[in-house]
């Protein structure tokens, strides 16, 4: 049963007076449960208990933390239909998406459990002493990774499970030995509470310390209170550039600055060579229509920008892409605010000089359903107008028609940092693909060849991050087991007696 309360170290409490409800975007009406925003005191209590738990949790064996993560996965699955139904009520997303995202969440938890079951992930190094070395002796030095401390995790709007309460940030932080305080996304407060209850049960069953996990409700102020607390040592965020940058600035201005690992905006450029258009324009148009509209375009890897060197087949391709895109049934967006933002940003882009709307879903739509849009602009106009470089979060994509390969390279070099870049090409292509890749890799975190950017595989080789503003630190990934590296730091032990070393550094 949903209580609407905050989960503070395993107890559900609500001392505040500010209330809110989630919204069913398909019915365009509020859901019945009243949620209570966390007070500053409740936020402080959650972090204080997380700090106390950290003293114990950081010393627990990897095997025990693995048991905890696997138990969380088991308890999430045990929620069964209750979780799926709540997910659908608060997101407007279909059952298949709910089940799939639940499966991904469980897989992430089990992947991190497998990772930390042994201590290999710490990348320990051992340099033996050389007391007889001349001219100076060498001490025994050993290096390992240790957890940072309590981590604040912000739930994402577009992934109520996989990037939220028990998502990748939480799973990786717990795996590292860091207690977590989640600021649940207000759009998915019910889904978050159910998952929080699963984590609480798992913590009790596996003997975790009180305070290892908390989840608070609220908006901007709750987030500010959380990041400002001196015992919070790192932040994980998935969302808008404005939100991520605000948290980054706040964390940087603290008396003790802390890292913010934020995955933010991206338009994910796709380069299509003229040769590829000649050989398979229809196939590309159909494939990309599906990618543009997948999940109503509400993915951080949505292909919002297609770059083409203008040729004889360019206009036909653009018209076919528009036709295929608007032929797909409009879908519901996550929330009225997201729909409003999509409309506003889309209108701002399409009203710019030189921009032509080639295709847009027409007619009256149900509330919160999005009209897909395909627009086009010349490379010259795109270069001259930074407003065209901004993300439109939803089923929107712009085709930029470059006059030559030099202008194409200039556009790529001038883009902000991106999560992904895609190259659609042929083996016998006339374009210098090596140069294209060289330029592209400086602007993105992941390069796709002859595929689509949507669909982020959870595996060790996945890089989900990129140069700013795709993320605040391009050296790290938010997906895959290497995400654990965000929540640890290296420490060297020099000339230490065996009995004082951590267990994984002995021997």
Active site residues: 263, 300
| H-helix segments, 206-313 | 220-228, 241-252, 274-293
Sorted by sequence, the CB contacts under 8 Å of residue 230 that are 6+ apart come out as 254, 255, 256
Angle of the 220-228 helix axis to the 241-252 helix axis, nearest 10: 30
Q: Give me the helices (H) in 144-273, please.
A: 168-176, 189-205, 220-228, 241-252
How many Å is the maximal CA-CA distance in the chain? 84
Hey, what are 371's tokens? 């009209």
φ, ψ of residue 505 to 5 degrees: the values are -110, 0
Distance CA 485, CA 507 (A): 25
The alpha carbon torsion through 12, 17, 18, 20 (nearest 10 deg) reads 60
Alpha carbons 48 and 156: distance in angstroms, whole number:
24
Q: Cα separation of 146 and 54, whole Å?
A: 12
Distance CA 400, CA 373 (A): 14
Contact criterion met (CB below 8 Å) for 268 and 288: no
Residue tagged 């543009």 (tokens): 292
Output the CA torsion sign for 423, 477, 415, 409: negative
Angle, CA of 165, 168 and 169, to the nearest 5°: 75
């Amino acid at each position: 049963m949903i209580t609407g309360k905050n989960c503070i170290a395993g107890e559900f409490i609500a001392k505040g007076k500010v209330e809110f409800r989630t919204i069913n975007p398909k019915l365009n009406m509020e859901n019945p449960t009243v949620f209570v925003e966390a007070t500053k005191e409740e936020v402080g209590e959650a972090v204080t208990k997380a700090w106390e738990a950290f003293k114990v949790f950081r010393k627990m064996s990897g095997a025990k933390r693995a048991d905890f993560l696997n138990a969380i996965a088991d308890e999430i699955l045990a929620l069964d239909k209750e979780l799926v139904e709540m997910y659908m009520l608060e997101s407007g997303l279909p059952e298949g998406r709910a089940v799939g995202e639940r499966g991904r969440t469980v897989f992430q938890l089990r992947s991190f459990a497998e990772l930390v079951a042994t201590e290999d992930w710490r990348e320990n190094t051992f340099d033996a002493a050389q007391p007889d070395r001349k001219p100076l002796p060498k001490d025994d030095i050993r290096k390992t990774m240790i957890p940072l401390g309590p981590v604040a995790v912000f739930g994402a709007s577009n992934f109520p499970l996989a990037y939220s309460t028990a998502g990748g940030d939480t799973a990786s932080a717990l795996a590292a030995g860091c207690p977590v305080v989640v600021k649940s996304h207000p759009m998915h407060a019910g889904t978050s509470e159910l998952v929080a209850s699963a984590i609480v049960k798992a913590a009790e069953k596996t003997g975790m310390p009180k305070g290892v996990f908390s989840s608070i409700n609220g908006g901007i102020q709750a987030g500010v209170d959380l990041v400002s607390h001196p015992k919070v040592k790192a932040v994980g965020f998935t969302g808008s550039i404005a939100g991520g940058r605000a948290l980054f600035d706040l964390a940087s201005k603290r008396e003790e600055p802390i890292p913010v690992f934020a995955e933010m905006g991206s338009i994910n450029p796709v380069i299509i060579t003229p040769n590829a258009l000649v050989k398979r324009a229809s196939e590309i148009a159909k494939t990309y229509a599906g990618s543009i509209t997948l999940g109503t375009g509400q993915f951080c890897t949505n292909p919002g920008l297609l770059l083409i060197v203008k040729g004889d087949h360019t206009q036909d391709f653009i018209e076919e892409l528009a036709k295929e895109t608007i032929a797909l049934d409009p879908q519901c967006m996550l929330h009225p605010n997201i729909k409003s933002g999509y409309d506003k940003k889309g209108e701002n882009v399409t009203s710019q000089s030189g921009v032509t709307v080639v295709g847009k879903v027409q007619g009256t739509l149900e509330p919160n359903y999005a009209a897909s849009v395909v627009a086009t602009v010349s490379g010259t106009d795109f270069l001259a107008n930074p407003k065209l470089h901004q993300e439109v979060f939803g089923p929107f994509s712009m085709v930029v028609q470059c006059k030559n390969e030099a202008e194409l390279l200039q556009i790529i070099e001038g883009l902000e940092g991106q999560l992904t870049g895609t190259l659609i090409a042929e083996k016998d292509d006339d374009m210098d693909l090596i140069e294209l890749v060289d330029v592209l890799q400086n602007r993105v975190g992941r390069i796709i060849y002859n595929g689509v950017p949507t669909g982020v595989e959870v595996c060790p080789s996945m890089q989900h991050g990129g140069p700013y503003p795709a993320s605040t630190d391009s050296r790290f990934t938010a997906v895959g087991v290497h995400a654990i590296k965000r929540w640890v730091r290296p420490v060297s032990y020099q000339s230490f007696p065996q009995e004082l070393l951590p267990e994984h550094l002995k021997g």
